[in-house]
């Protein structure tokens, strides 16, 4: 194997790419098309609810082009972290979208479906066997956390993808996977060494994110060989420069030089980035240190409660002059009103939070500048144990907030400009991430199961 | 005195997973990168104070190949939790923009 070529359709399935770029990328004869479909960026809601962030229509548009391109060029298409969080229900939903496309376009292929959800019993057993360790920032993973979890997934490495390819799959839809494993599987299976493969995979995984100035999501192309790889954007409006490519190692990673995968760590401290053309870069010199123990990162969420919010604005200079004391008084009054409805014990069943846009909403306690301009936005947030309580507290709190007085004005005031009717927005269940750990399985098969379908 | 914003081509923050925040300060060329790197301003003592974060969990890396400085530390609130105001961690670099050199 001299060289292997990879076309990344885009950074995340459903975010789009230009048809012209994709066709250009296909004309460069890739050996496979890859696309990641998930992230924790959008927060814990998607793993909790099992919903996808992007619409079915947007996913279908991207997936259709990928499947047609793969079929026409007789190359595999590999999708990782299906449906945002790679939960089983999201994988099944993505497979349904794929089946609709295949039916409409008369496409036939062997599909590999990788499931990444982790059963609680398995994780509890791993904790008991001391085969579970925290990542930084570290906190212990207790049985209680596991039991409270709504859903837990493991991030697949390249191994289950390689198994699918070994078994003749032309298309793979995987549950939660490391962003890079989508791009590493085929090159590793073909015998390329891990250092250039994982390094190329990291640069490819966000699609066009490694170009000098990304205007919109788009494709990326890499040719990987035993010594390194060349990277070039198919879109002629974009260019990769040594700095833009090197800089992408930094993106959303806590380390500028290291990429941790289940099978080892890529170290790019010694890597070189050389311009090939004004638009393409040759990368070499990364090192891959195989892991002593094969580890799988896990992600879990638990239900935090049910959420309601109220958005309002304040313009009155008299109120703004005493914003803190006004809000403190208001908050106490809201708590008193909630107690008057539900009794003293209610305080354990809800939380109330004010965010003051125009002062320190974005950085909260970390904000060094606490000046207030001529208006502020106030976001009142309520988190409660039940949906009914979240609604009830929001309507009570909103009414108190709306008319809360200041000493200077005598008579009833309306101190909040409310942009919505109803003012209260009921957001439903809220989830929170509850794990930052790896498990050490005997084999990837302990966690990931593969199902084959003839489409 | 020059502000960091005038020397850098990009200052950005983002989650590195839901539990960590990472800030990248990127420069167009070696000149400004070297000036900031050797100024000693981007120092663990200063950054840990600015972001009220434990210095033992703060990591500052000077990435010569990309003319970039990377600052990483645990998020004060986990992404998307009740108190968190910045799910992506995208707007946590503000206090660095006007730093003077």
**Which residues lie below 8 Å from residue A65, measured CB to CB, with a gap of 6+?**
A9, A17, A19, A22
- CA–CA min distance A270, chain B (Å): 9
Measured between CA atoms, the residue of chain B closest to residue A381 is: B82
- With 70 as the cut, is the pLDDT of residue B57 above it? yes
Domain range annotation of chain A? 3-116+155-295+440-454, 304-433
Q: CB–CB of A413/A285 below 8 Å?
A: no
Query: Residue B51's closest chain A neighbor by CA?
Result: A366
Q: Where are the beta strands (DSSP E) in chain B?
A: 10-15, 20-26, 59-63, 68-74
- Inter-chain residue contact B85 with A362, CB threshold 8 Å: yes
What's the pTM? Answer: 0.94
Helix (H) or strand (E) run with residue A324 in it = helix A323-342
Q: Alpha-carbon distance A115 to A430, whole Å? A: 25
CA distance A252 to chain B (A): 5
Q: Tens digits of per-residue pLDDT, A181-190?
A: 999 999 999 9
Mark yes or no for CB contact B68/A250 under 8 Å. yes
Q: Do A256 and B78 touch (CB under 8 A)?
A: no
- In angstroms, the CA B80 to CA A41 distance is 9
CATH assignment of B4-76, among 2.160.20, 3.30.43, 3.30.70, 2.30.40: 3.30.70
Give B26-53 as a DSSP string: E-SSHHHHHHHHHH--S-HHHHHHHTT-
Those residues whose C-beta lies under 8 Å from the C-beta of residue B40, and which sit 6 or more positions away, are none
Nearest to B72 among A254, A368, A431 (CB): A254
Structure tokens at A163: 């198994």
Task: With beta carbons under 8 A apart, name residues in chain A contacting B17.
Answer: 40, 254, 436
Is B61 an interface residue toward A (CB < 8 Å)?
yes
- Residues of chain A with Cβ-Cβ distance to B82 below 8 Å are 304-305, 307, 351, 353, 381, 383, 430, 432
Task: Please classify residue A292 by burial: count the beta carbons closer than 10 Å to its beta carbon, then call 0-12 exposed, 13-18 middle and 19+ buried.
Answer: exposed
Distance of CA A117 to the CA centre of its chain: 16
Asked whether residue B28 carries a pLDDT value surpassing 80, the answer given is yes
Report whether B60 contacts B69 (CB < 8 A). yes
A362–B94 C-beta distance less than 8 A: yes
What's the confidence (pLDDT) of residue A193? 97
Q: Are A38 and A86 in contact (CB under 8 A)?
A: yes
Q: Are A365 and B76 within 8 A, CB to CB? A: yes
Chain A residues near residue B85 by CB distance under 8 angstroms = 355, 361-364
Q: Which residues does residue A449 pair with via DSSP β-bridges, in sequence order?
A: A115
Tell me which residue of A9, A155, A40, A14 sits closest to B14, measured CA to CA: A40
Per-residue pLDDT reduced to its tens digit, A290-301: 999 999 999 999
CATH fold for the domain made of A304-433? Alpha-Beta Plaits (3.30.70)
Going by pLDDT thresholds of 50, 70 and 90, the confidence category of residue B66 is: confident
Q: Do A366 and B63 count as a contact with CB atoms less than 8 A apart?
A: no
pLDDT means over runs of 10, chain A (455 residues): 92 96 98 97 97 97 98 98 98 98 98 98 96 91 97 98 98 97 97 97 95 93 97 96 90 87 94 95 96 96 98 97 96 97 96 97 92 96 98 96 96 95 96 96 97 97
pLDDT at residue A1 in the model? 55
Residues of A with CB below 8 A from B68's CB?
247, 250, 256
Q: How far apart are the first and last CA of chain A?
A: 30
Q: Is A353 helix (H, G, I), strand (E, B) or coil?
A: strand
Residue A205: partners with Cβ closer than 8 Å, 6 or more residues away: A8, A11, A36, A179, A180, A182, A183
What pLDDT shows up at residue B65?
79
Report yes or no: A432 at the B interface, CB cutoff 8 Å: yes
Cβ(B11)–Cβ(B23) below 8 Å: yes
| B64 touches A at CB < 8 Å | no
Closest by Cβ to B16, choosing from A242, A252, A364:
A252
């Amino acid at each position: 194997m001299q060289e292997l070529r990879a076309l990344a359709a885009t950074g995340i399935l459903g975010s789009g790419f230009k048809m012209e770029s994709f066709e250009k990328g296909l004309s460069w004869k890739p050996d496979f098309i890859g696309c990641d479909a998930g992230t924790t960026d959008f927060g814990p809601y998607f793993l909790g609810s099992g919903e996808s962030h992007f619409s079915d229509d947007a996913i279908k548009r991207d997936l259709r082009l990928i499947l047609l391109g793969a079929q026409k060029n007789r190359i595999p298409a590999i999708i990782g972290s299906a449906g945002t969080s790679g939960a089983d229900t999201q994988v099944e939903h993505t497979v349904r979208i794929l089946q609709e496309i295949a039916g409409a376009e008369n496409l036939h292929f062997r599909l590999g479906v990788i499931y990444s959800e982790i059963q609680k019993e398995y994780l509890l057993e791993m904790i008991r066997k001391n085969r579970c360790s925290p990542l930084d920032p570290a906190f212990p993973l207790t049985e209680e956390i596991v039991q409270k979890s709504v859903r837990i997934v493991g991030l697949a490495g390249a191994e289950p993808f390689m198994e699918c390819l070994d078994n003749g799959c032309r298309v793979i839809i995987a549950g939660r996977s490391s962003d890079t494993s989508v791009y590493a599987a085929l090159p590793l299976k073909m015998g390329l060494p891990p250092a250039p493969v994982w390094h190329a995979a990291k640069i490819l995984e966000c699609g066009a994110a490694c170009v000098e100035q990304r205007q919109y999501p788009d494709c990326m192309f890499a040719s990987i060989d035993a010594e390194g790889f060349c990277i070039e954007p198919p879109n002629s409006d974009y260019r990769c420069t040594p700095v833009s490519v090197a800089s992408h190692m930094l993106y959303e990673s806590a380390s500028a030089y290291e990429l941790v995968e289940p099978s080892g760590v890529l170290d790019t401290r010694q890597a070189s980035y050389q311009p090939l053309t004004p638009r393409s870069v040759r990368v070499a010199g990364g090192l891959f240190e195989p892991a002593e123990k094969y580890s799988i990162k896990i992600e879990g969420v638990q239900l935090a409660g049910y959420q309601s919010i109220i958005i309002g604005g304040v313009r009155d200079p008299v109120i703004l002059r005493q914003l803190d004391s006004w809000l403190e008084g208001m908050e106490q009054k809201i708590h008193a009103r909630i107690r008057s409805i539900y009794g003293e014990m209610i305080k354990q069943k809800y939380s109330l939070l004010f965010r003051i846009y125009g002062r320190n909403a974005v950085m909260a306690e970390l904000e060094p500048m606490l000046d207030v301009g001529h208006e502020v936005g106030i976001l009142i947030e309520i988190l409660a144990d039940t949906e009914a309580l979240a609604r009830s507290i929001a309507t009570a709190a909103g009414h108190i907030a709306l008319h809360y007085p200041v000493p200077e004005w005598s008579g009833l005031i309306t101190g909040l400009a409310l942009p919505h009717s109803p003012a209260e927005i009921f957001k439903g269940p809220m989830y929170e991430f509850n794990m930052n750990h790896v498990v050490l399985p005997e084999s990837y098969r302990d966690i990931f199961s593969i199902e084959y379908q003839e489409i | 005195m020059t502000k960091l914003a005038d020397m850098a081509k990009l200052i950005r923050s983002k989650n590195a997973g839901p539990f960590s925040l990472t800030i990248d300060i990127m420069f167009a060329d070696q000149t400004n990168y070297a000036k900031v790197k050797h100024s000693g301003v981007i120092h663990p003592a200063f950054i840990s104070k600015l972001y009220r974060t434990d210095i033992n969990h703060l990591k500052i890396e000077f990435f010569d190949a990309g003319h970039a400085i990377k600052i990483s530390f645990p998020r004060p609130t986990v992404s998307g939790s009740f108190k968190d105001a910045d799910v992506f961690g995208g707007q946590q670099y503000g206090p660095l923009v006007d730093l003077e050199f």
